Amino acid sequence: MSRKIELLMAGSLLLVLGACTTALSPEKTEALGQPFNEELKERYLQLAASRRSSLDFDYFHFRDKADSALLGDVVMPDSVADHDICLGWQPDVLSTREQLVGLLEDGGRFGAPATAAEAQVDFDCWLDELEAQSQTQACPAVTNNTAPPAPTQCGDRLMTSLAALTNEGAPFSVFFASGDTGIDDDGREVIERVKRSADVSQPSRIVVTGYADRRGIAADNERLAEERAREVAKALIEEGVPAAAITVDAWGETVSAESLDENRRVEITFQN
């Protein structure tokens, strides 16, 4: 591209940026909806500003996402298909996006809005970095053992954000009916969540601890708590969590919450 055309495009972009106004200024207006929307708006504004300073047309894309967050809309991470990324990197990137969306929809937006917003914007920034790399360097050959993308600034921050978001959800609890060791549908959803979270944070040990309420004989409750813990451990292994990483423990009725329903549980915690 000639220097004259480059200058013309840069000048056009500056004119458009100068004329770009909205009825509601996201810099001066608090976002509607949950605190997550406000956190997301602020971070997309920061990312847009970094693109504006370098005359990058992605400024408009991130500014639009900030505007959507301002209005209280559900704003999702960017689609991998919308970015021209090396084919060999795409399975790893798609898997990371799936983990991110799972953490967001499993309560991350509500339980840890700042961490969740940081993770989402870091992901979108990472896609931009990978697209730039794909255009300036040779893509790796597509094989069954293709290496993941090389580390990038936003990619490194993303991994940190995902690990922090995962830890915000711990410990995980699976609840049981009185006298029962069966895992219901809600419990199965928790098991799936634990698997996704473990994939992100890679804990060195996963502790599965069973509890029981104070009904019945203490010795029977201790046995019941252990059976519950072992059932949850079995379900985790079936879901794909390495058995070597799991430690089973049981406290029976010796550690009690005020609610009997809360006592009938198995807690899953990560240790690094």
Burial class (CB in 10 A: 0-12, 13-18, 19+), 213: buried
The residue range of the domain holding 143 is: 84-169
- Pair 59, 17 in one domain: yes
Do residues 23 and 100 both lie within one domain?
A: no
Residues of the chain with pLDDT > 70, as a percent, come to 83
Per-residue pLDDT tens for 145-185?
Answer: 666 788 899 999 998 888 888 776 667 889 998 888 999 99
- Which of 131, 153, 169 is the last residue in one of the domains? 169
For residues 179 and 264, state if they share a domain: yes
pLDDT digits (tens, 9 = 90+) for 1-45: 333 344 344 444 444 444 444 456 777 899 898 899 999 999 999
Which tokens sit at 35? 């605190």
Length of the chain: 272
Of residues 55 and 39, more confidence is placed in: 39
Cβ count near 202 (within 10 Å) = 11
Structure tokens of 247? 């430690």
Query: What are the tokens at 147?
Result: 């290496």
Q: Are residues 69 and 159 in the same domain?
A: no
pLDDT tens digits for 82-118?
A: 999 999 899 989 999 998 998 888 778 887 899 999 9
- Is 59's pLDDT higher than 80? yes
Count of structural domains, the chain = 3
CA–CA dist 236, 268 (Å, integer)? 10
Q: Are residues 95 and 129 in the same domain?
A: yes
Residues 243 and 262 in one domain: yes
Please indicate, yes or no, whether residues 193 and 164 belong to a single structural domain of this protein.
no
Q: How confident is the model at residue 76 (pLDDT cuts 50, 70, 90)?
A: very high
pLDDT of residue 6: 40
- Which of 114, 137, 169 terminates a domain? The answer is 169
pLDDT for position 226:
92
Rounded CA-CA distance 58/82 in Å is 12
For the chain, give the mean pLDDT: 83
What is the maximum alpha-carbon separation in the chain? 86
Q: Of 171 and 190, which is predicted with more confidence?
A: 190
Kindly report the pTM of this predicted structure: 0.62
Token reading at 230: 């072992």
Query: What percent of the chain is modeled with pLDDT above 90?
Result: 45
User: In the listed set 108, 140, 169, which residue is the last one of a domain according to the structure?
Assistant: 169
Q: Are 153 and 187 within one domain? A: no
Residue 217, pLDDT above cutoff 50: yes
Whether residue 239 sits in one domain with residue 190: yes
For the CA atoms of 207, 198, 168, 45, what is the dihedral angle to 10 degrees? 170
CB count in 10 Å sphere of residue 154: 18
CATH code (residue 226): 3.30.1330.60
Residue 177 and residue 149 in one domain:
no
Q: What local confidence, expressed as pLDDT, does residue 16 receive?
A: 46
Residue, of 92 and 253, whose pLDDT is higher: 92
Q: Is residue 109 domain-shared with residue 40, that is, in the same domain? A: no
Whether residues 192 and 265 fall in one domain: yes
